[in-house]
Amino acid sequence: MSSPILTRLALTGQVKAGGHVEARWSAAHPMNSGFRVDDSGNRIPKNIIHTVRAYLNDRLIMEADLGTAMTSPVYLAFPVSVPAEGGIVKVIWQDDLGQMGETQQRLVI
């Protein structure tokens, strides 16, 4: 079993109904492209985060299909419209080895 990947989701900006904040998500994933070799000359298998989905109150608001050119640590920023009732922003990701992760932040008005 692989070790857990640390992720973080931060919301920046003033949280007010009808306004916008910026969601900033990062993951400490190694993002191995499959092109590098280790010290023994063996190829390091490809393992990248390939799918990232963001939800606001369980409604999909952003989806990204990442490729081998994405850096490590992974960083994505995207706008979020703040609903009148507030809610929860959740990011779910999956990598080539099937490992998945989830992180969330509450929008409190």
The whole-model pTM stands at 0.92
Q: Residues 84-101: pLDDT tens digits?
A: 999 999 999 999 999 999
42 within domain boundaries: yes
84 within domain boundaries: yes
> How high is the pLDDT of residue 1?
47
Look up the domain containing 52 and give its range.
7-102
Cα torsion 53, 57, 59, 62 to 10°: value is -30
107 within domain boundaries: no
Residue matched to tokens 């916008």? 20
CATH number for the domain harbouring residue 81: 2.60.40.10
Q: Residues 25-45: pLDDT tens digits?
A: 999 999 999 999 999 999 999
In total, how many domains does the chain have? Answer: 1
Cα separation, 22 vs 29, whole angstroms: 22
8 Å CB contact between 60 and 41:
no
Tell me how long the chain is: 109
Cα separation, 46 vs 70, whole angstroms: 13
Q: Residues 50-91: pLDDT tens digits?
A: 999 999 999 999 999 999 999 899 999 999 999 999 999 999
Residue 2 has pLDDT above 70, yes or no: no
Residue matched to tokens 């299909």? 65
